[in-house]
Amino acid sequence: MDAILLQILNGLDKGSAYALIALGLTLIFGTLGVVNFAHGALFMIGAFCAVTLSRILTTSRTIIDETQKDFLGNPLKVEVPYVHDWFGQATGDVIIDWAVPLSIFFAIPVMILIGVIMERGLIKHFYNRPHADQILVTFGLAIVLQEIIKFYYGANPIPTPAPDAFKGSFDFGAMLGFDPNTIIYPYWRLVYFAFAAVIIGAVFAFLQFTTFGMVVRAGMADRETVGLLGINIDKRFTIMFGLAAAVAGLAGVMYTPINSPNYHMGMDFLVLSFVVVVVGGMGSLPGAVLAGFLLGILESFASMREVIEIIPGINQVIIYLVAIIILLTRPRGLMGRKGVMED
């Protein structure tokens, strides 16, 4: 029982990332009808927003501390971050420590701007083109963005730690009556799951209860009719592309303490997230979220040592095998709508 609970917990953080990326993919496909293979790159850029802010906050100047000596007996050179000058040492250290959560406020405007530029500058020209053209162009864009990140940040992963307050693990075993340390789960992974739940809930609430969201949902169902009512649906869809980019970026920001950012992380998540979208049902927001969590947990179970000993390599292909089975039995996915990508 404890092993089952542990694998469910292990699947939640990766499932949360799948769900957030798939949610953005589905928003873009549902509103614009575009299959955006550059969406994984937005996840990567979000992660590097956290890296960038962390580097900005730790930018320092060198001073000579006459009270300390180096190994040669000379006055010691000390690096003092500029935030210490601006806010004092104690507050500056707190700001540096909380660089990842603070990156949320840095990433939101950056990701919305990138999303709007991407949509207005390139993707709008492929609205009525075949999906194969959309995939080719957006995949190429993803490669370009990946190489830009590689050029400026290097090829190696960049560790970006969580705040000290969230280091360590929570003992679920002791709380549930099992032996201590049988079910432990890192605090930051719990934070990531809670963060994903808040973002997903906010997106659904925005679409369900705001006038803007209701117009977008109507446009997703019948774009032409909404346009005949005199509503500028294109402008709203551009904004939704920016919001979808922000969702992917925020998913990347908060994932940095779990997986150190690297230039190919977006591509790693993109393929699996696209499978999640297809399994959940193209154009279905609830389906994307449901499939994200289910496949994340399933992948966690397939990664158990006992399972790999029986079927070596199953953890690498389990999601694709399940996708094949679901699409053979339910061609529209778990919650797909009739007519989506069936022409």
- Give me the CATH number covering residue 172: 1.10.3470
Kindly state whether residue 335 falls inside one of the protein's structural domains.
Answer: no
340 found inside a domain: no
Grade residue 248 by pLDDT with cuts at 50, 70 and 90: very high
Q: How many domains does the chain have?
A: 1
Confidence of residue 229 (pLDDT cuts 50, 70, 90): confident
For the whole model, what pTM was predicted?
0.86
| Helical H segments across 122-264, by residue range | 131-153, 172-176, 187-209, 211-221, 223-228, 233-255
Q: How far apart are CA 273 and CA 299, in angstroms?
A: 13
Q: Among all chains, which residue has been given the structure tokens 């927003």? A: 49
The predicted pLDDT at position 158 comes to 92
Query: Which tens digit of pLDDT belongs to each residue from 313-330?
Result: 887 888 888 888 888 888
Tens-place pLDDT, residues 259-268: 899 998 888 8
Q: Quote the tokens at residue 167.
A: 């280091």
pLDDT tier for residue 201 given thresholds of 50, 70 and 90: very high
Q: Give the model confidence (pLDDT) of 94-104 as tens digits.
A: 999 999 999 99
Query: What is the pLDDT at residue 341?
Result: 45
Residue 341 lies in a domain: no
Q: How far is 53 from 38, CA to CA, in rounded Å?
A: 23
Give the closest residue to 24 by CA, choosing from 326, 252, 320, 325. 252
Element (H, E) at 60: strand 60-69
Q: How many CB atoms lie within 10 A of CB 166?
A: 18
193 part of a folded domain: yes
| pLDDT over threshold 90, residue 211 | no
Residue 122 has pLDDT above 60, yes or no: yes
State the residue for tokens 């994200």: 292
Let me know if residue 317 belongs to a domain. yes
CA–CA separation, 9 vs 193, rounded Å? 10
In a domain, 273, yes or no: yes
In a domain, 232, yes or no: yes
pLDDT above 90 for 304: no
Share of the chain above pLDDT 70, in %: 94
Give the mean pLDDT of 201-219.
Answer: 84
Tokens representing 311 are: 């079927």
Question: Do residues 31 and 240 lie in contact, with contact meaning Cβ atoms separated by under 8 Å?
Answer: yes
Domain of 160 in residue numbering reads as 2-329
Q: What digits encode the pLDDT tens for the residues 11-20?
A: 888 888 888 8
